[in-house]
Amino acid sequence: MYQEFIESFLTYFEGQSDGIRIFKSPGRVNLIGEHTDYNGGFVFPAALTMDTTVLARPRNDRQINLIATDLKQMVRANLDELDKWKHLRWGNYQLGVADELQKAGYKLCGCDLMYDDKVPLGSGLSSSAAIEIATAVALVALGDSYHGIKREIDMVDLAKIAQKAEHNYIGVKCGIMDQFASAMGKKNMAIFLDCRDLTWEMVPLVMKGYKLVIANTNIKRSLGSEKYNERRSECEKGLEQLRHIFPDASYLRDISVDDFLTYQEEISDETIRKRVAHVVYENERVIKAVEALKKDRLEEFGELMNASHDSLRDLYEVTGVELDTLVEQARKVEGVLGSRMTGAGFGGCTVSLVREDKVQEFIERVGKAYNKVIGHDASFYITEAGDGGREIIY
């Protein structure tokens, strides 16, 4: 399989296959804990087996060249003038990561890079984090070898740097969840992550007799759309209004459900109060969901997924008719314990917990009903948790 990639790499960049290295990084599905990460809260994602593969070969100059298997136009840039490249339609994630790595002190070298992206773009499954982390691990590994630096790559640091690239190059003030999951994912594990201090616990994703099924609305979500940043600033406003009561709170995560119930009237704007309510309850749901999964209480896990979606629909208002239709139809199928949107919302995907013997029926029924209401097809993927960003020794 890699042989084909290598041949295709050589048609773009010529030369020898010696020195070509292969790196991979996955997309993610978030099981619960949505729009909590930038509020210093809890998330519970798993890395997917769908990923981005990068073939990378060092050069002896400062040139960085990018191509993708599904694109014909090569992007050629120079590592010493990366600021010029912020407005590319394709390539800005990669060059943003290169820029932020250098600003953080990593010594890179020129290189040729070829991408093969298998995470559906704009699907809410973090295709962008997959590209960012694959790029980061490739650039650091190549740079280290080139400059004779020997060390184990700090994947959490790469996640933070990739997040910065997304802030500064793409203009989305995202949290850390996607980059962290893509960098740190482990086969058959979900990651219970505390986004305030980045402590985490790997939780075995064992769901006896059940499967996680992802359904794609096939409505592309553009994270760049103002809405994401707008939600983030609404949360900041909410926290500001509670600060005189909780002067030490640095994130909404520091407000408990009880605190919220006692002081919610301090938040004068109703919309902002709703946003805060979502975050406060969602954090509590994540903690309960992790416990439920550990104790094999899948019904409870499913109920928490449902409550999370309803809150994202009614309080956070980031779902939309496509996601709501998928969820509504999913919940009608016998053997479905829970169904919710995953990722930022506004299109993208849902994730449902479906009894194994009902998966086929689920795909048929939900697919048909979705097409009838929305007018185009949804796509379905049966999920397994995969490994995070890494080099492939082939």
Which residues are catalytic, by number? 178
To the nearest whole angstrom, how small is the minimum distance from the Cβ of residue 195 to ligand GLA? 9
Residues 6+ apart with CB under 8 A from 50: 26, 27, 118, 119, 120, 125, 130, 381, 386
Exposure string of 10-49, with b = 16+ CB inside 10 Å and e = fewer, is: bebbeeeeeebbbbbbbbbbbbbbbbbbbbbbbbbbbbbe
Residues in 26-85 that interact with ligand GLA by CB under 6 A: 34-35, 37-38
Check residue 175 for interaction with ligand GLA (CB under 6 A).
yes
Q: Is 367 exposed, middle or buried (0-12, 13-18, 19+ CB in 10 A)?
A: middle
When binding is defined by CB under 6 A, the residue of 50, 177, 326, 327 that contacts ligand GLA is 177
Check residue 285 for interaction with ligand GLA (CB under 6 A).
no
Check residue 347 for interaction with ligand GLA (CB under 6 A).
no
Count of CB atoms within 10 A of residue 117's CB?
21
Short-list 217, 213, 220, 183, CA closest to 200 = 183
To the nearest whole angstrom, how small is the minimum distance from the Cβ of residue 36 to ligand GLA? 7
State the residue for tokens 């397994």.
Answer: 384
- Our CB check for ligand GLA shows the closer of 163 and 325 to be 163
Short-list 47, 346, 51, CA closest to 177 = 47
Check residue 338 for interaction with ligand GLA (CB under 6 A).
no
To the nearest whole angstrom, how small is the minimum distance from the Cβ of residue 358 to ligand GLA? 28
Check residue 239 for interaction with ligand GLA (CB under 6 A).
no
Q: Which stretch binds ligand GLA (CB under 6 A): 138-146, 174-182, 283-291, 357-365?
A: 174-182
Check residue 323 for interaction with ligand GLA (CB under 6 A).
no
Greatest pairwise CA separation for the chain in angstroms: 68
- Our CB check for ligand GLA shows the closer of 232 and 297 to be 232
Footprint on this chain of ligand GLA (rule: CB under 6 A): 34-35, 37-38, 174-175, 177-178, 343-344
